[in-house]
């Protein structure tokens, strides 16, 4: 595998999940694989889980880790070609990506959607520019339109917690005071579509994800009806795709204990961070059905599996 940019880079999901669960049992099984190799982690946005779990994954494989926060520390980068660079940007990604490629063996990048222009965001200019100019593999640590490390984690977590042959998985929109990207929801839908689950998406009208993402997946605008018989509730806010970047904070969509009672004793998932008593009630997040902490733990094994596959193919 050259790059891990999207769910499409997973060639055999069931095998990958089995391998990740095996890694979780023996995380140091391949502790020599990455010796004398360096991963560079570039952050254009904040992170807790992605940063620490990817570092932990690299350490489990014996790698060295270099981290750079571009907001505040790095030169502001230009991505367009042929630009007269007499404004704010100090360095072109063409040089930056080639230079970093000399210091590192693998590069991982986080660059969120700006939520101003849909076409710009969905062109994935930052990640695609680094993929174009870097001479080393690139891993997506959440780009404008996708979060494939999170989605792989979610697939692992659902597999571990499934007690029925084909679980009903509900992706539920929930309110949030700020405009959030569609990235997590996009990748979650894409990975669930290739798993043996019964996926339903529920959100208020006007918060449809891109048709290219949802395809034939059922969408129910009645949240309580969607929750009926669900085995997993995956909670996530996203801003509007059609009215690009519009905030959605309808409190009636908050996840409550009463709504969870409609389910088949469903497990509650969220990628974190989550705002308590805005997105969901304390009682929901503190219930025994919430598996968000174990879900976050699985970030390490998803990242480790991806890194291992990249190292093995070099």
List interacting residues with ligand CP (CB under 6 A): 47-50, 142, 150, 271-273
Distance of CA 235 to the CA centre of its chain: 13
Nearer to ligand CP, 178 or 261 (CB): 178
Q: Give the span between the Cα atoms of 232 and 194, in whole angstroms.
A: 16
Nearer to ligand CP, 49 or 259 (CB): 49
Residue entry with tokens 């290739």: 194
In the complex, residue closest to ligand CP by CB: 50
Nearer to ligand CP, 271 or 284 (CB): 271
CB of 221 to ligand CP, least distance (A): 26
CB of 49 to ligand CP, least distance (A): 4
Assess contact for 227 and 251: CB atoms under 8 A. no
Residue entry with tokens 């798993």: 195
CB of 263 to ligand CP, least distance (A): 23
Going by C-alpha positions, the residue among 52, 277, 261, 279 that lies closest to residue 269 is 279
Nearer to ligand CP, 54 or 129 (CB): 54
Longest CA–CA span in the chain (Å) reads 60
**Could you count the other beta carbons within 10 Å of the beta carbon of residue 201?**
25
CB of 153 to ligand CP, least distance (A): 8
Angle at 97 (CA atoms; ends 93, 99), nearest 5 degrees: 120
Nearer to ligand CP, 142 or 190 (CB): 142
User: What does DSSP say about strands 138-140 and 232-236: parallel, antiparallel, or unpaired?
Assistant: unpaired
User: Residue 30 half-sphere exposure, CB side, CA atoms within 13 Å?
Assistant: 20
Nearer to ligand CP, 78 or 142 (CB): 142
Residue entry with tokens 């005071």: 177
Nearer to ligand CP, 1 or 272 (CB): 272
CB of 43 to ligand CP, least distance (A): 9
Dihedral sign from CA coordinates of 184, 187, 189, 194 = negative
CB of 142 to ligand CP, least distance (A): 6
Helix segments in 170-244, DSSP class H: 183-193, 211-214, 223-227
CB of 218 to ligand CP, least distance (A): 26
User: Residue 145 half-sphere exposure, CB side, CA atoms within 13 Å?
Assistant: 22
């Amino acid at each position: 595998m050259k790059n891990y940019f999207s769910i499409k880079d997973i060639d055999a999901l069931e095998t990958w999940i089995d391998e990740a669960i095996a890694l979780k049992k023996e995380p140091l099984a391949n502790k020599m694989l990455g010796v004398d190799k360096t991963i560079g982690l570039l952050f254009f946005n904040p992170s807790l889980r992605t940063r620490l779990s990817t570092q932990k994954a690299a350490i489990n494989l014996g790698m060295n880790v270099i981290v750079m926060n571009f907001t505040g520390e790095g030169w502001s980068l230009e991505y367009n070609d042929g630009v007269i660079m007499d404004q704010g940007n100090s360095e072109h990604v063409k040089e930056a990506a080639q230079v970093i490629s000399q210091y590192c063996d693998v590069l991982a990048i986080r660059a969120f959607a700006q939520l101003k222009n849909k076409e710009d965001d969905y062109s994935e200019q930052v990640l695609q520019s680094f993929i174009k100019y870097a001479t080393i593999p690139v891993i997506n640590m959440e780009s404008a339109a996708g979060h494939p490390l999170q989605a792989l984690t979610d697939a692992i977590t659902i597999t571990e917690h499934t007690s029925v042959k084909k679980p009903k998985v509900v992706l539920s929109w929930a309110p949030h005071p700020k405009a959030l990207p569609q990235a997590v929801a996009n990748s979650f839908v894409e990975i669930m579509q290739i798993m043996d689950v019964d996926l339903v998406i529920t959100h208020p009208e006007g918060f449809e994800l891109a048709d290219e993402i949802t395809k034939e997946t059922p969408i129910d605008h009645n949240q309580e009806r969607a929750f009926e018989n669900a085995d997993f509730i995956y909670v996530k806010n996203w801003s509007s795709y059609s009215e690009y970047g519009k905030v959605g904070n309808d409190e009636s969509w908050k996840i409550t204990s009463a709504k969870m009672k409609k389910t088949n004793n469903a497990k509650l998932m969220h990628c974190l961070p989550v705002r308590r008593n805005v997105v969901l009630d304390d009682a929901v997040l503190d219930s025994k059905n919430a598996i968000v902490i174990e879900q976050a733990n699985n970030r390490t094994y998803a990242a480790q599996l991806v890194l291992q596959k990249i190292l093995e193919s070099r």
